[in-house]
């Protein structure tokens, strides 16, 4: 009998955070292995360790805070724990701020002066490569826990609970590999945990290899009201301007160089629909109405004129190509779209070949338009 599954707590972040903190406090075997192999602390057995969960700060409540100290060194480890949830709004950015670190230091009663304390920040996730908003956080997955801290604990009860937890994690990570000859709709529409489908989608999209510089640079999820879509943003360096939109004195500074062109491929797991919209928007994205309202008219005109000229050239090329799978759009951020019907028998290999073929067609249009419109 698996206690973790019986209690239904596998993906309960607060409870699993309590478990990790408890293991750090109560098990020397776990503590040393976690510190050395996950937190990259050398000689983990030489520290006094105290782990706490949900310490309130003025900028938020980190999931786990570990204070470790000896006569020579002190380290505070901040862990943001994500099982099936996305990061809250700029959570990791807030937790990496000096004010948060100082408040956690004050709470921890460390004997060493603040300026001599080292901070380590960990983004612990179920989903591989779930990227934190703060670059100070390093991404660690529960799969790393399986690989590096799959150990026997001293206490029989703790060992049973931890072993059961590792078993549930092992079960989650099974069946995530995607073979080239698998049927793509079988892979993406199987009636299993949607997070596992998401990882399969990520694996497929990362396997897109083009010869024209296109790369997948973001993978994520979008949705609402019971609908979930997986998205992959695909672009190249030349499709981004050399400036970013800046907000100063409540006014957006925008120009003909604050653009970001990319495909935003999406798979709707309920409607089994795959599309590749082409977006032309600001970098970073600001909704059109908000941008117009908060930018100078002459600045927005520079951005808008270039966008309109690029769009007009691409639309003209789409008309000449006359391919029903490539459509023109006049949205606030979308200017075209690739819409593909996927047959039940299409393999993963064929699916990727079709996507690459159509992206190549539209990519050529974008490249030529950018050359013509300076």
Counting the structural domains of the chain, the total is 2
Domain co-membership, 290 together with 362: yes
CB burial readout 182-209, b (16+ within 10 A) else e: bbbbebbeeeeeebbbbbbbbbbbeebe
Of the residues 127, 145, 172, the one at which a domain ends:
172
- The verdict on whether omega for the bond into residue 124 sits within 30 degrees of 0, i.e. cis, is no
Q: Quick check: helix, strand or coil at residue 185? A: helix
Query: Residue 54 is part of which domain span?
Result: 3-172
Note the pTM of the prediction, 2 decimals.
0.80
Residue 233 and residue 114 share a domain: no
For helices 348-372 and 297-321, what crossing angle results, to 10°? Answer: 130
Which phi and psi (to 5°) does residue 264 adopt?
-125, 75
Burial class (CB in 10 A: 0-12, 13-18, 19+), 160: middle
Q: Is the same domain home to 195 and 157?
A: no
Share of the chain above pLDDT 90, in %: 82
Q: Are strands 64-69 and 74-82 parallel, antiparallel or unpaired?
A: antiparallel
Q: Do 268 and 315 share a structural domain?
A: yes
Q: How far is CA 75 from CA 41, 51, 70, 115, in A?
A: 9, 12, 9, 11
Answer whether residue 179 is part of any domain: no
Based on the domain organization, do 18 and 153 belong to the same domain? yes
pLDDT band for position 331 (50/70/90)? very high
Same domain, 81 and 214: no
Question: Residue 15: is it exposed, middle or buried by C-beta count within 10 angstroms (0-12/13-18/19+)?
Answer: middle
Same domain, 155 and 200: no
pLDDT in the model for residue 55: 97
Which tops the pLDDT comparison, 195 or 318? 318
Structural domain contains residue 323? yes
Say whether pLDDT at 268 is over 80.
no
Instruction: Let me know: does 278 contact 330? Beta carbons within 8 Å.
Output: no
Residue 126 CA to residue 141 CA, distance in Å, equals 6
Q: How far apart are CA 308 and CA 305, in angstroms?
A: 5
Question: Mean pLDDT over all residues of the chain?
Answer: 93
* pLDDT tens per residue across span 124-143: 999 987 889 899 999 999 99
| 160 and 200 belong to one structural domain | no
Closest CA to 71 of 52, 48, 51: 48
- Asked if residue 177 belongs to a domain, the reply is no
The residue out of 172, 195, 224 marking a domain boundary is: 172
Residue 139 and residue 270 in one domain: no
Q: Are 235 and 217 in contact (CB under 8 A)?
A: yes
Strands (E), 209-322: 215-224, 227-235, 246-248, 251-253, 259-268, 273-282
Q: Report yes or no on 124 lying in a domain.
A: yes
């Amino acid at each position: 009998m698996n206690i973790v599954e019986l209690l239904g707590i596998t993906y309960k972040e607060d409870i699993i955070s309590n478990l990790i903190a408890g293991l750090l406090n109560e098990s020397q075997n776990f503590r040393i292995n976690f510190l050395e192999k996950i937190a990259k602390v050398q000689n983990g057995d030489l520290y006094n360790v105290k782990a706490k969960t949900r310490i309130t700060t003025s900028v938020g409540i980190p999931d786990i805070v570990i204070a470790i100290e000896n006569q020579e060194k002190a380290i505070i480890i901040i862990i943001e724990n994500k099982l099936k949830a996305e990061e809250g709004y700029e959570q990791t950015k807030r937790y990496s701020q000096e004010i948060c670190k100082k408040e956690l230091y004050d709470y921890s009663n460390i004997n060493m002066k603040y300026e001599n304390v080292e901070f380590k920040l960990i983004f612990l996730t179920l989903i591989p490569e779930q990227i934190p908003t703060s670059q100070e956080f390093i991404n660690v997955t529960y799969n790393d826990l399986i690989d590096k801290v799959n150990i026997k604990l001293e206490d029989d009860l703790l060992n049973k609970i931890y072993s059961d937890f590792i078993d549930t994690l092992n079960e989650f990570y099974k069946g995530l590999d995607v073979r080239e000859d698998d049927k793509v709709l079988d892979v993406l529409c199987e009636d299993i945990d949607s997070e596992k489908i998401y990882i399969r989608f990520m694996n497929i999209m990362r396997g897109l290899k083009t010869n024209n510089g296109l790369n997948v640079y973001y993978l994520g999820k979008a949705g609402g009201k019971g609908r979930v879509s997986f998205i992959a943003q695909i672009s190249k360096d030349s499709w981004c301007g050399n400036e970013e939109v800046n907000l100063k004195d409540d006014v957006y500074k925008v120009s003909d160089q604050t653009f970001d062109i990319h495909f935003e491929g999406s798979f709707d797991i309920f409607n089994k629909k795959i599309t590749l919209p082409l977006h032309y928007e600001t970098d970073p994205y600001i909704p059109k109405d908000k941008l117009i309202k908060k930018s100078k008219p002459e600045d927005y005109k520079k951005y808008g004129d270039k966008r309109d000229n690029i769009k007009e050239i691409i639309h003209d090329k789409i008309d000449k190509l006359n391919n029903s799978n490539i459509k023109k759009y006049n949205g606030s951020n979308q200017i075209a779209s690739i819409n593909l019907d996927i047959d039940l028998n299409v393999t993963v290999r064929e699916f990727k070949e079709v996507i690459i073929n159509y992206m190549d067609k539209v990519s050529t249009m974008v490249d030529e338009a950018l050359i013509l419109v300076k």
